[in-house]
């Protein structure tokens, strides 16, 4: 999974030593940081890429459940497609195009998770 | 090799040293290429399950098995999946074998509180008459009975069975076949005598130092510092040395220090540190004279799962300064002078030995070649990396020399196949127990053992 991108990544990184009297990070600060990260992650996506629609996700889910191409857990959908291609099972090409078009979206690249497994 | 050429020149040992001692140039290294890239793991991810490796194993071996089934039982034999079976119809099914063994060590049974079991001590063989064979394909599984030897086969083998499904839901087998020998490689072997020395199980770091004299004699023979001119000229024909695993002894694996208190173990060093230093010195002597390939084994400091990665060169600072030292993976494949070598350090063969009724290491080695897979019991009972893309242990080409290390005795056999395959099967014995190494002649694919021994304090003479 790629690292969440922060606004501060564009600023030069400089090591800052803590002063002697600074207390360690408090729980309240950590919660705020998480919220900020979620907001920032959605912003810097290229504007030319529309979000995938439900029909595409349904087609990918059906690709996952096809038993001919082997197990679908633990590998990305693109890896599974390429493995099926090499074994000569001729998986359909539109799936590969869809996977490459939306390669930044983790819902598309990985199999459908239910309960986060 | 050594005996017939050594005897005439033995008198040279009693002569005074000559002004110009004769030199024997070693046969030049020509045509070496390493083919073990499939066994080298780059980035390792253990977040996958093992279902992938079984799926690609079946998918990769299915076309070959279907071809074999057609040639054996007629080209019109019905090839069915288990979900398409009809009771009473004679057909052929390709799938993976699973052997349900009562005595197979199971971690779930051990930690289950309701059974209240004491952990089972390791047994030499885990087979029982009550074992059953089950055939699995992509979706279903079915019990097998009939003309199939349950005791002999192991889990993970891809097999094609011919028979029919019975009323009680079991499959009655009339005949079965494996993938058989893979297609042959063209032969480009050398035209003159060229030898490769195979040794395994040096067992450094053991409590007794008796095998050290034999190890030093081996090094001296290979580097030409032993014997008269006849032996030295013979040793010059040794083009390469392959050490097939277990360079360290099992004694270096003791982990007693974990159970002791910290103050008792503060200054102790792991036994393997001293053993690796000894290994470095021995390899240094060998590498100055001959190219050496070092394969890791069961007790060596590298990862446990197959394929074992090469030993790190920082452990062997003196020897890795020489380019003749090659640290290679555990199943090792290479082209030496046009002859394809493929071999392991013996973990695959000894694992099959534990779960099958076959007793002879050479027989098991031949069976893995005929089954088309180096180690079918991985990942069930032998640790294996969770591959997902392809199974690198499937044999796609027939090697010319197929060896396994750390066998109890030396055995060799030349196997001829129907499509012109010629394979030399060699079981390399454990050097620390038998003091025997093997010399393979690349010109005519013959193999002879060479034994080193010294006179002990309690032997006559």
Q: Is the pLDDT assigned to residue B461 strictly greater than 60?
A: no
Q: Is the pLDDT assigned to residue B441 strictly greater than 70?
A: yes
- Look-up of token digits 């890791």: B296
Mean pLDDT, to the nearest integer, of A14-28? Answer: 55
CATH 3.60.21.50 placement within chain B = 25-43+183-253+267-451
Give the integer Cα–Cα distance in Å for B395 and B331: 12
Interface of A with B (CB under 8 A): 67-68, 70-71, 73-75, 79, 82-83, 86-87, 89
Q: Which residue of A has its CA nearest to B386?
A: A74
Name the CATH code of domain B50-105+123-177 (choices 3.30.70.560, 3.10.129.10, 2.40.50.430, 2.60.40.420).
2.40.50.430
Other beta carbons less than 10 A from residue B132's beta carbon? 14
Dihedral angle computed from the Cα positions of residues A36, A40, A42 and A48, in that order, rounded to the nearest 10 degrees: 170
Q: How near does any CA of chain A get to the CA of B35, in Å?
A: 20
> B56 touching A, CB under 8 A?
yes
Q: Which residues pair with B165 in a beta bridge?
A: B87, B171
Q: Which residue of A has its CA nearest to B61?
A: A87
B159 closest CA partner among B90, B57, B88, B86: B57
> B389 touching A, CB under 8 A?
yes
Other beta carbons less than 10 A from residue B23's beta carbon? 8
DSSP code at position A87: T
pLDDT value for A17: 57
Is A21 or B158 the better-scoring residue by pLDDT? B158
pLDDT value for A40: 43
CATH 2.40.50.430 placement within chain B = 50-105+123-177
Q: Is A74 in contact with B48 (Cβ distance < 8 A)?
A: yes
Give the integer Cα–Cα distance in Å for B278 and B303: 21
Q: Is the pLDDT assigned to residue A43 strictly greater than 50?
A: no
Report phi then psi at B199, rounded to 5. Answer: -140, 150
pTM to 2 decimal places = 0.84
pLDDT value for B16: 78
Q: How near does any CA of chain B get to the CA of A60, in Å?
A: 19
Report phi then psi at B253, rounded to 5. Answer: -90, 0
Report phi then psi at A32, rounded to 5. Answer: -65, -40
Give the integer Cα–Cα distance in Å for B93 and B237: 50
* Pick among A66, A68, A83 to test the B interface (most B CBs inside 10 A): A83
CA quadruple B101, B103, B107, B111: dihedral positive or negative?
positive
* Cis peptide preceding B127, ω within 30 of 0: no
Q: Is the pLDDT assigned to residue B269 strictly greater than 80?
A: no
B335 closest CA partner among B28, B25, B27, B29: B29
Summarize pLDDT for B135-162 with one digit per residue, the tens. Answer: 999 999 999 999 999 999 999 999 999 9
Summarize pLDDT for B309-335 with one digit per residue, the tens. Answer: 999 999 999 999 999 999 999 999 999
pLDDT value for B308: 94
Q: Flag the least confident range among B38-47, B166-175, B429-438.
A: B38-47
Q: Is A75 in contact with B55 (Cβ distance < 8 A)?
A: no
pLDDT value for A23: 52
Give the integer Cα–Cα distance in Å for A84 and A75: 13
* Number of residues assigned to chain B: 461
Q: How near does any CA of chain B get to the CA of A87, in Å?
A: 7
Summarize pLDDT for B274-290 with one digit per residue, the tens. Answer: 899 999 999 999 999 99
H or E, element range at B325? strand B325-327
As given in the structure block, the two tokens for residue B150 are 């349950």
CATH 3.60.21.50 fits domain B25-43+183-253+267-451: yes
């Amino acid at each position: 999974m790629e690292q969440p991108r922060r606004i501060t990544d564009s600023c030069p990184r400089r090591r800052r030593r803590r002063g002697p009297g600074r207390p360690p990070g408090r729980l309240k600060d950590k919660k705020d940081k998480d919220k900020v990260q979620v907001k920032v992650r959605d912003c810097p996506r290229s504007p030319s890429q529309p979000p995938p629609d439900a029909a595409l996700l349904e087609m990918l889910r059906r690709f996952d459940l096809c038993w001919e191409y082997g197990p679908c857990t633990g590998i990305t959908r693109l890896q599974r497609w390429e493995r099926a291609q090499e074994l000569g099972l001729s998986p359909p090409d539109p799936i590969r195009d869809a996977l490459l078009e939306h390669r930044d979206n983790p819902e598309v690249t990985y199999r459908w998770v239910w309960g986060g497994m | 090799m050594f005996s017939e050429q050594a005897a005439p020149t033995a008198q040279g040992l009693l002569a005074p040293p000559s002004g110009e001692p004769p030199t024997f140039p070693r046969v030049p290294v020509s045509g070496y290429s390493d083919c073990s890239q499939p066994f080298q793991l780059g980035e390792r991810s253990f977040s996958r399950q093992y279902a992938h490796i079984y799926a690609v194993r079946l998918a990769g071996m299915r076309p070959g098995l279907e071809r074999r089934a057609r040639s054996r039982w007629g080209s019109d034999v019905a090839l069915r999946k288990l979900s398409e079976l009809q009771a009473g119809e004679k057909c052929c099914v390709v799938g993976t074998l699973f052997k349900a063994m009562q005595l197979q060590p199971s971690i779930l049974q051990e930690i289950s509180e309701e059974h209240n079991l004491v952990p089972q001590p390791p047994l030499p063989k885990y087979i029982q008459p009550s074992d059953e064979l089950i055939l699995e394909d992509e979706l279903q599984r079915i019990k097998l009975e009939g003309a199939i030897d349950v005791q002999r086969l192991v889990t993970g083998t891809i097999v094609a069975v011919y028979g029919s499904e019975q009323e009680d839901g079991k499959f009655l087998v009339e005949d079965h076949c494996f993938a058989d020998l893979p297609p042959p490689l063209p032969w480009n072997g050398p035209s003159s005598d060229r030898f490769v020395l195979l040794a395994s199980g040096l067992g450094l770091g053991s409590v007794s130092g008796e095998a050290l004299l034999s190890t030093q004699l081996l090094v001296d023979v290979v580097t030409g510092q032993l014997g008269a001119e006849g032996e030295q000229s013979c040793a010059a024909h040794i083009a390469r040395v392959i050490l097939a695993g277990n360079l360290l002894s099992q004694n270096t694996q003791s982990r007693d220090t974990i159970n002791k208190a910290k103050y008792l173990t503060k200054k102790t060093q792991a036994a393997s540190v001293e053993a690796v230093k000894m290994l470095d010195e021995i390899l240094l002597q060998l590498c100055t004279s001959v190219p050496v390939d070092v394969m890791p084994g069961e007790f060596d400091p590298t990862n446990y799962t197959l394929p074992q990665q090469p030993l790190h060169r920082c452990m062997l600072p003196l020897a890795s300064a020489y380019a003749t030292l090659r640290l290679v993976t555990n199943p090792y494949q290479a082209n030496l002078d046009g002859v394809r070598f493929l071999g392991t350090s013996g973990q695959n063969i000894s694992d099959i030995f534990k779960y099958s009724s076959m007793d002879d290491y050479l027989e098991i080695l031949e069976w893995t070649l005929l089954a088309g897979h180096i180690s079918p019991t991985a990942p069930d009972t032998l640790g294996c990396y969770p591959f997902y893309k392809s199974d690198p242990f499937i044999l796609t080409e027939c090697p010319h020399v197929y060896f396994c290390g750390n066998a109890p005795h030396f055995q060799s056999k030349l196997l001829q196949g129907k499509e012109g395959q010629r394979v030399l099967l060699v079981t390399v014995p454990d050097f620390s127990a038998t003091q025997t190494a093997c010399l393979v002649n690349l010109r005519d694919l013959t193999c002879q053992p060479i034994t080193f021994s010294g006179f002990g304090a309690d032997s006559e003479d």
